[in-house]
Amino acid sequence: MYSYGERVNGAYHCEFGFMTIGQKSPHIISGLELTGSVIDGRATATLQLKNIDWKQLNQTLSDLQNSGSQLFVGVFVTNIQNGEVQEEKLYLPIFPHKYKIDLSRTRSYFIPGYPVEVVAVVRYPDGTPAVGVPVNISIASQQDSRITNEYGGVYSAFNFNATSSFRVDVSSDGLQESKNIEPASSPTGSYLYISFTHKVYNVGESLFLTFRTPTAPTNGGYIYYMVLSRGMIITKGSLVHGTLTTGSVSITADMVPFFRLIGYYHGNNGDIIADSVWVDVRDECEIKVTVQHNTQPVVGKPLDLEIDLHGQDATVALLAVDKAFYGLKADNKLTAKQVFSTMASYDLGCTYSGGSDPAKVLVDAGLSLLLKPNQPGGKILGVHHKM
């Protein structure tokens, strides 16, 4: 299709090869050329790996992948009306598996006596979520099977009395990823465990939380919590302390695209017992805007636009960009995903949830903790690296 909307009719010619590191031009594999028709701007070309003569190349697909080579696809399209030829080149990375399994959101440290929650995200090699994919999860002798949601995520909780480190195995379509989970420690043997329903929340929803502790302090007290998003404290509150305490937090636009909830209480000897969780929020702008037109655009004539802010007050800025600009450099196009990714980079935390001990829970969540500031040997703990 041309940038002004006209669809092309003509013919295409495809050639395939591979580009190795250090080469200036790709190595074209002879005998794999494909030709066909382009009808109303559409055409399909398929290359089967079994059609490649690997003996002639003297290497396998795994060899190419291990050497960092990329598959090359060259496409030439000829417009049958005017004979104009357009060329496009693609370099595709080679991956050993169809999916990638990410276990970074699973706690690295489990809290003794409480469920172990496994959070896995399955993605395609380009980073897009793999939706509707069967996933098998196993811990020790327990197993569970789940289907990935719209974000490629699966969640599963296991109840067993672990006292030492163990391994989590997650597999899908022949690919397996593992993670070793270590026991968290506490100088006083006191813990706080926060649980909630794992999913992607919407702005306006309520997040229901459960705070569990082995015992309640003899002097009563409260469980305090705060919400951190984009490096800022969004809200905070407190609940009367018990061995099982419930509460809720209303999700606002300030918490997009995710937030951390940190809970803590003071033990009998004044020490801080803490836990933290990571909560995903659906990417959504605070102010909704819709731009549309009711007439067919005509070159050289004004066009009336209807801008709907859905009842909200705001200043609207308009920017018109020729489609041909994106045709020349499409990878520079600003998208909503890029905006939310930048917002997420403001996070100060080091890990997704929990920590090796109560002090590390706060530090890993992006907080600085001042320990015994008025006593000799007092020190400040802070984040030393980004996640």
Domain extent listing, the chain = 10-93, 97-183, 188-386
Return the closest-CA partner of residue 212 out of 164, 273, 151.
273
**Per-residue tokens: 369:** 């903790």
Helical ranges in 7-104 per DSSP H: 54-57, 61-66
pLDDT of residue 378: 45
Burial degree of 267 (CB within 10 A; 0-12, 13-18, 19+): buried
Structure token digits, residue 305: 């636009």
Q: Check residue 225 and give its pLDDT.
A: 97
Q: Is 99 helix (H, G, I), strand (E, B) or coil?
A: coil
The third-level CATH classification (topology) of the domain covering 97-183 is: Immunoglobulin-like (2.60.40)
Output the tens digit of pLDDT for each of the chain's 387 residues. 776 667 899 999 999 999 988 888 999 988 899 999 999 989 999 988 888 888 778 888 888 888 889 999 999 999 998 889 989 899 989 888 999 999 999 999 999 999 999 999 999 998 899 999 999 999 988 999 999 999 999 999 999 888 899 999 999 999 999 999 999 999 888 999 999 999 999 999 999 999 999 988 777 789 999 999 988 999 999 999 999 999 999 999 999 999 999 999 998 888 899 999 999 999 887 777 888 888 888 878 888 889 888 888 888 888 887 766 666 655 666 777 777 777 777 788 888 899 999 889 998 998 876 665 554 444 445 544 343
Span 10-93: which CATH code? Answer: 2.60.40.1940
Give the per-residue pLDDT at 4. Answer: 65
Those residues whose C-beta lies under 8 Å from the C-beta of residue 334, and which sit 6 or more positions away, are none
pLDDT of 108 reads 95
Is the distance from CB of 69 to CB of 94 less than 8 angstroms? Answer: yes
Of 184, 245, 238, the residue nearest 215 (C-alpha): 245
Which of 282, 277, 259 is closest to 337 using CA atoms? Answer: 282
pLDDT (0 to 100) of residue 24: 87
| Predicted structure pTM score | 0.78
Closest CA to 219 of 265, 159, 286: 265
- Does residue 77 contact residue 10 with C-beta atoms inside 8 Å? yes
Segments in 221-335 forming alpha helices (H): 323-328
Please give the angle made by the CA atoms of 117, 186 and 383, to the nearest 5 degrees. 75
Question: What counts of helices (H) and strands (E) characterise the chain?
Answer: 5, 25
Residue 241 to residue 222: CA distance in whole angstroms: 4
pLDDT at 158: 95
Bridge partners of 223, per DSSP, are 239
- Provide the pLDDT for residue 326: 61
pLDDT at position 184 is: 95
Nearest to 193 by CA among 273, 89, 287: 273
Tokens read off for 307: 């801008």
- Buried/exposed 98-135: b ≥16 CB within 10 Å, e otherwise: ebbbbbebbbbbbbbebebbbbbbbbeeeeebbeebeb
Pick the CATH number of 188-386 from 1.50.10.10, 3.30.565.10, 3.30.70.2390, 2.60.40.1930: 2.60.40.1930
| Number of Cβ within a 10 Å radius of residue 206 | 10
Distance CA 322, CA 12 (A): 27
Instruction: Say how far apart CA 60 and CA 56 lie, in whole Å.
Output: 10
